[in-house]
Chain A
Amino acid sequence: MAQLKVRIQRSDGIAEYAVAARENQTVLDVVTEIQREQQPDLAYRFACRVGMCGSCAMEVNGVARWTCRTHVRKVAEDGTLTLRPLANLPVIRDLATDMKPFFDKWARARGQFQPKDAPNGAVPVEFAVVPPSSPKRQEADAGIECIGCGVCYASCDVVSWNPDYLGPAALNRAWTLVNDVRDGGRRERLDAVAGDAGCHSCHSTQGCTERCPKNLDPSSAIAGLKRSIFWGVLAP
């Protein structure tokens, strides 16, 4: 059987493995096979294996991807795979990154829903009626499916230049809430995402939009934040 060459960036350097090249296998299958058959102490992370949880993201031949949804035959170059941990995040070990800075930025961008009708967390008496076809709801729906895998964050040049930059996912989340008519934290949220560490540093190079496995468009969300804040400055 033909062999697949796999180069893995481990904590102590690049390690090379050879596994059988099968007709149908994902990159995650390959990593699992290496861990089970050749390198029991190889660290990586996964949970659902079907593109729901967003925990298996890695850099495959230079591109951040969900390994569970990436077929080897579509990405291998000359029968070789090079795997690295996600960029722009601290590495715990081998292919497992620490997602804490990523999610801390969601909190900094005020990614938490703040009910307008029930600021103290009480359950409102009436349901909020939000027509799905209303423009604001559609704008919010466009970004709501993010599962927080960190692929956009690892693909963002601005994060690599400025470690304080909030990043595409946190800003995309903020934009969905800015457009949520039930939310009462608009002003504080726009303040939180403004400035050099926020949406105003985005160069709109759209690496996030290009790489998002859910086909979301954080780049447009960030442009929306810039627009809202700009008009807020001109006509406060």
Chain B
Amino acid sequence: MRGQVHLWAAQRITAFVLAAAVFVHLATIMLAVRGGLSAAEIVARLSGAEGWLAFYAVFALAAGIHGAIGMRNIAGEWLGWRGRGFDALWLGIGLVTAAFGIRAAWGLYHA
């Protein structure tokens, strides 16, 4: 029961983070593509930039956690997938999703 409340709280808090992060992300895209978009330009902006690394690491972690909790709830209601086993599965999926994003941010930081 406590765990379920923590999941709910985590989903609300990550929603706040995502609302801000998605806004920054989209605004950056819009500004960045004004003069055309190239891989070199992206690497130039992100390589060695600790601020962007931290931003995208937090963004990816929030997205992974938020998405997995949401999928868990939908699967519980629509497919009857409930219980600790499924919770562990969704936790794993969330962390793997976040890890992919963080790995990408890490790769661009070191590019």
Interface set of A (CB-CB < 8 Å, partner B): 158, 161-162, 191, 194-196, 198, 200-201, 226, 229-230, 233-234
From A161, A195, A230, B1 is in contact (CB under 8 Å) with A195
Specify which chain B residues have a CB less than 8 angstroms from the CB of A161 in the assembled complex: 77-78
Q: Counting CB contacts under 8 A, is B34 at the interface?
A: no
Produce 1/0 per residue, B73-108, CB < 8 A to A: 100111000100000000000000000000000000
**CA A230 – CA B12 in complex, angstroms?**
10
Q: Which residues of A are found within 8 Å of B8, using beta-carbon distances? A: 200, 226, 230
Contact B9 A234 (CB under 8 A): yes
- Counting chain A CB atoms within 10 Å of each CB, the highest count among B1, B12, B76 belongs to B1
Contacting residues, chain A, for B73 (C-beta < 8 A) = 201
Q: Are B77 and A230 in contact (CB under 8 A)?
A: no
Partner of B4 from the list A162, A200, A230, A234 (CB cut-off 8 Å) is A200
B35-75 vs A: 1/0 string, CB under 8 Å?
00000000000000000000000000000000000000100
The smallest beta-carbon distance between A163 and chain B, in angstroms, is 10
| Residue pair A233, B82 in contact (C-beta under 8 Å) | no
Pairs across A and B, CB under 8 Å, 23 listed: A158-B77, A161-B77, A162-B76, A191-B1, A194-B1, A194-B5, A195-B1, A195-B4, A195-B5, A196-B4, A196-B76, A198-B1, A200-B4, A200-B5, A200-B8, A201-B77, A226-B8, A229-B5, A230-B8, A230-B12, A233-B5, A233-B6, A233-B9
Chain B: minimal CB distance from A232 (Å): 8
**CA of A194 to CA of B2, assembled, Å:** 8
Determine if B12 and A194 form an interchain contact, defined as CB atoms under 8 angstroms apart: no
Q: How far is the CB of B79 from chain A (nearest CB, A)?
A: 10
| Neighbouring A residues of B5 by C-beta, 8 Å | 194-195, 200, 229, 233
Chain B neighbourhood of A233, CB < 8 A: 5-6, 9
Q: Given the complex, which residues of A lie within 8 Å of B12, measured CB to CB?
A: 230
Q: Chain B interface (Cβ within 8 Å of chain A)?
A: 1-2, 4-6, 8-9, 12, 73, 76-78, 82
Q: Which label, helix, strand, loop or mixed, suits the secondary structure of the B interface?
A: helix
Top 3 A-B residue pairs of the complex, sorted by shortest distance between their CB atoms: A195-B4, A161-B77, A195-B1
How long is the Cα–Cα vector from A196 to B1 in the complex, in angstroms?
8
Chain B residue nearest to A192 (CB atoms) is: B1
Q: How far is the CA of A229 from the CA of B5 in the complex (A)?
A: 8
Q: How far is the CA of A158 from the CA of B77 in the complex (A)?
A: 8
Q: How far in angstroms is the closest Cβ of chain B from A79?
A: 38
A201 partner residues in chain B, CB cutoff 8 A: 73, 77
> What A residues does B9 contact at CB under 8 A?
230, 233-234
Q: Please report the C-alpha to C-alpha distance between residue A214 and residue B53 in the assembled complex, in whole angstroms.
A: 55
CA distance A233 to B73 in the complex (A): 20
A contact residues around B77 at 8 Å (CB): 158, 161-162, 201
How far does the Cβ of B67 sit from chain A's closest Cβ, in whole Å? 18
Q: Which residue of B lies closest to A232 (CB)?
A: B5
In the complex, which residues of chain B have a beta carbon less than 8 angstroms from the beta carbon of A191? 1
